[in-house]
């Protein structure tokens, strides 16, 4: 742009700003990227990426030449409705109403490799997804759904080999040969060690398992994506978009190296790798993230010298952000989901799942699922967006932002490379620490009203909304699963089962054997998910995670407000009256590994002046009660996500009573339907805090409580 024209604009802008300066309009993103108020053609002169054309390397504009102009993205919806029977009904309804691909969310017991009758999963069966104990459950899940015609995406990490084995065995039972199965297994185990924690085995054997899956699927399931490398759960845990971009690609590099070590050629498996992004509310940042990812992945894979250009193309599934959803003024979530879905489409996703507006409260109802599904159908069929390939390409702002994201993400990838790769970096705790810092900063900005959440910290509703939610009877589901397990065990050949379990154990010791291949045969012979997992666990062991928290990040980011001064005053008075600080134990009970909320609370409350202990993941209620008593805490903070409040909290309070520790207060936070608040209060829970709670306000309430 001619200098004079820019000066003319600057003069005009300054007049409009009056007493403010143009510098006041610059914005610093949470990722540390400076965003200008105006972008011009001059900003396209020194980009760190090639814009190119869709379908051609470096694929910045999309992995396919015609993208949506030829065929829209795949519209997906998760089914995880307690039982295989209920999920099957949901699938069939969705397929009648515009869903093109099936997605399965498995329950927490299944993720962690426990059968439904295991004593540690009393509260976890069917609450956060569908319970799968054997090939029989998988047969029920896909009954009447032709798997040779249907793409199936499965979210599974810990028990991935037994579950994938059951899926393949079920397809064969249905008459669908392996080579015709299509879909993706979302098996990014490195992300589990970073943020989500639904792992079973330590990192090294977990990586061996990934390599086995890539090897087997590359040879036998040519239409199946052997792994979905997931940034989604990083953003859910509080990662900013640059962190999500960098760490996801770094994970991808590690999996490529693992597959190559198995003797595979890059072109054997790279075209079947898939990536999974979360799409949050920063619209242009999300568009830029997806375009940057495609360019960067092309550059990464180029170094492995593939002969097939398809190996360079990054394939994408997206999901609108769960962490954007709030309990307060929940219908606003429909707007949030729509904006995020638009960003995913403008960024060039090939597959999309839209969250339902009530998922900050409970599992989606058929009503809310329909709205979420129709959101995509409206974008695809009413807006005209699908008529143009990559409509935002060439945008001064989008291209500049893409370029900046590449630069910033490469810095983080270099840090990982310098540490010796992602496995080493995870062992050192680097990405986990960075993400937790980002999460704490974001919460501090929200609590200090620096970041607006409409209906939560600004423009709050004056009337309470009643929203119908889906409620699952966990006890009934678990009993049905146990009954099915008992029938299965009566009908099978025990000698064959024992023989296959021995073979799995032997294969775990011998890396020349492929665990998936053996587990498929075991699944066909009715070995359960828990039995196959245990056979591997005998060799690999079960991984445990340390419970470190960061300090100082929340307090350094939060503004010194009246609330902060009030907290300091309350803490001082408490110390004066009690001779010590208020002490809290933060716990995650059951098999839910999503610990963002628990870590965030522990970090923030510690910064605010509490003494905070953090319980280990996967505690039982009895273990949590004993830890609280031994540590002499004033209050237990229960972080819950997957309906565990209905079963785990009653058991916790019962255990406190049995140990004469009723003076210890119990509070709950997380995804808890408002309809359940009275139930919890009647149990003896002192306070319930839903998603979007201001932590500073909660701290004052808790000090007053104890």
Integer-rounded Cα Rg, in Å, for the chain is 25
Sign of CA dihedral 541, 542, 548, 549: positive
Among the listed residues 124, 592, 607, 613, the single catalytic one is 592
Q: How far apart are CA 378 and CA 384, in angstroms?
A: 10
- Options 594, 599, 634, 646, the catalytic residue: 594
Are residues 234 and 247 in contact, defined by beta-carbon separation less than 8 angstroms? yes
Contact 342/290 with Cβ under 8 angstroms?
no
- CA triple 654-593-131, angle to 5 deg: 85
How far, in Å, CA of 25 to CA of 449, rounded? Answer: 19
Q: Please confirm, yes or no, whether 232 is among the known catalytic residues.
A: yes
End-to-end CA distance of the chain: 64
Are 106 and 130 within 8 A, CB to CB?
yes
The answer to whether the beta carbons of residues 187 and 224 sit under 8 Å apart is no
Which listed residue (232, 247, 255, 554) is catalytic? 232
From the candidates 43, 59, 68, 78, give the one annotated as an active-site residue.
78
Q: Which helix (H) or strand (E) holds 495?
A: helix 494-509
The answer to whether 298 and 310 have CB atoms below 8 angstroms apart is: no
Catalytic residue among 588, 634, 646, 687: 588
The Cα–Cα gap between 559 and 441 comes to 11
What is the DSSP annotation of 277-329?
EEE-S-HHHHHHHHHHHHHHHHHHHHTT--SSGGGGPPPEEEEE-STT--STT
Is 233 annotated as catalytic? yes
User: Contact 141/89 with Cβ under 8 angstroms?
Assistant: no
Q: Which of 49, 191, 233, 353 is catalytic?
A: 233
Active site residue 592: yes
Asked if residues 276 and 318 have their Cβ atoms less than 8 Å apart, the reply is: yes
- DSSP per-residue letters across 211-280: HHHHHHHHHH-TTEESEEEESHHHHHTT--HHHHHHHHHHHHHHHHHHHHHTT--HHHHGGGEEEEEEE-
588 in active site: yes
CA distances from 450 to 128, 167, 231, 280, 627 (A): 33, 47, 26, 17, 37
The secondary structure of residue 194, as a DSSP letter, is I
- Among the listed residues 207, 210, 133, the one whose alpha carbon sits nearest the alpha carbon of residue 484: 133
**Nearest by Cα to 625 from 588, 656, 654:** 656
Tokens at residue 352, please?
């999309």
Question: Which residues are catalytically annotated?
Answer: 78, 232-233, 588, 592, 594
């Amino acid at each position: 742009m001619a200098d004079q024209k820019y000066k003319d604009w600057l003069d005009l802008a300054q007049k409009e700003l009056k007493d403010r300066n143009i510098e006041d309009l610059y914005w610093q993103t949470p990722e540390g990227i400076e965003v200008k108020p105006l972008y011009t053609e001059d900003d396209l002169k020194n980009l760190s990426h090639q814009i190119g054309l869709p379908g051609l390397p470096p694929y910045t504009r999309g992995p396919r030449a015609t993208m949506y102009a030829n065929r829209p993205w795949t519209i997906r919806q998760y089914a995880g409705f307690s039982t295989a029977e209920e999920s099957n009904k949901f699938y069939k309804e969705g397929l009648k109403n515009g869903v093109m691909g099936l997605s399965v969310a498995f329950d927490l017991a299944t993720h962690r490799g426990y059968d439904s009758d295991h004593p540690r999963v009393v509260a976890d069966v069917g609450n956060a997804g569908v319970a799968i104990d054997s090939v029989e459950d998988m047969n029920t899940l896909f009954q009447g759904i032709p798997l040779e015609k249907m793409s199936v995406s499965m979210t599974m990490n810990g028990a991935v080999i037994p579950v994938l084995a059951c899926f393949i065995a079920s397809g064969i039972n249905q008459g669908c040969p392996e080579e015709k199965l299509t879909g993706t297994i979302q098996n990014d185990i490195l992300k589990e060690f970073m943020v989500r924690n639904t792992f079973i085995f330590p990192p090294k054997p977990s990586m061996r398992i990934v390599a086995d899956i890539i090897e087997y699927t590359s040879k036998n399931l040519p239409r199946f994506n052997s792994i979905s490398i997931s940034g989604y759960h990083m953003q859910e845990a509080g990662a900013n978009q640059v962190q999500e971009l960098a760490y996801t690609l770094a994970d991808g590099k590690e999996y490529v190296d693992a597959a190559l070590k198995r003797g595979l050629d890059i072109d054997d498996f790279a075209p079947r790798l898939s990536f999974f992004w979360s799409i949050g509310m920063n619209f242009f940042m999300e568009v830029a993230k997806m375009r940057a990812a495609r360019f960067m992945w092309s550059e990464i894979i180029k170094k492995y010298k593939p002969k097939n250009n398809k190996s360079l193309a990054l394939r994408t599934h997206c999901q609108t952000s769960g962490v954007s959803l709030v309990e307060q003024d929940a219908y606003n979530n429909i707007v949030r989901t729509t904006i995020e879905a638009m960003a995913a489409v403008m960024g060039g996703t090939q597959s999309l799942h839209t969250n339902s507006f009530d998922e900050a409260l409970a599992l989606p109802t058929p009503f809310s699922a329909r709205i979420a599904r129709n959101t995509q159908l409206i974008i695809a069929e009413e807006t005209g967006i699908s008529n143009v390939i990559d409509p935002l390409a060439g945008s001064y702002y989008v291209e500049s932002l893409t370029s900046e994201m590449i630069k910033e993400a490469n810095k983080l990838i270099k840090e990982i490379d310098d540490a010796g790769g992602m496995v080493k970096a995870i062992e050192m705790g680097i990405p986990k620490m960075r993400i937790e810092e980002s999460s704490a900063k974001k919460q501090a900005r929200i609590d200090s009203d620096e970041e607006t959440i409409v209906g939560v910290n600004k423009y709050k509703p004056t009337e309470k909304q009643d929203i119908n939610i889906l409620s699952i009877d966990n006890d009934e589901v678990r009993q049905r699963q146990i009954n099915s397990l008992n029938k299965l065990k009566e009908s099978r050949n025990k000698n064959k089962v024992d023989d296959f379990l021995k073979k799995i154990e032997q294969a775990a010791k011998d890396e020349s054997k492929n665990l998936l291949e053996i587990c498929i045969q075991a699944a066909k012979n009715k070995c359960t998910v828990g039995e196959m997992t245990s056979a591997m666990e005998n060799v690999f062991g079960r991984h445990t995670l340390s419970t470190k928290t960061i300090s100082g990040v929340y307090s350094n980011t939060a503004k010194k407000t009246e609330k902060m001064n009030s907290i300091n005053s309350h803490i001082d008075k408490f110390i004066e009256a009690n001779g010590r600080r208020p002490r809290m134990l933060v716990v995650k009970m059951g098999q839910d590994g999503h610990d963002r909320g628990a870590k965030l609370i522990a970090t923030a409350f510690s910064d605010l002046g509490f003494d905070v202990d953090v319980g280990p993941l996967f505690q039982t209620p009895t273990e949590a009660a004993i830890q609280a008593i031994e540590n002499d805490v004033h209050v237990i903070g229960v972080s819950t996500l997957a309906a565990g409040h209905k079963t785990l909290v009653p058991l916790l309070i019962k255990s406190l009573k049995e140990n004469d520790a009723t003076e210890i207060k119990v509070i709950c936070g997380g995804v808890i339907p408002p309809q359940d608040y009275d139930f919890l209060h009647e149990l003896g829970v002192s306070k319930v805090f839903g998603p979007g709670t201001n932590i500073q306000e909660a701290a004052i309430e808790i000090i007053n409580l104890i």
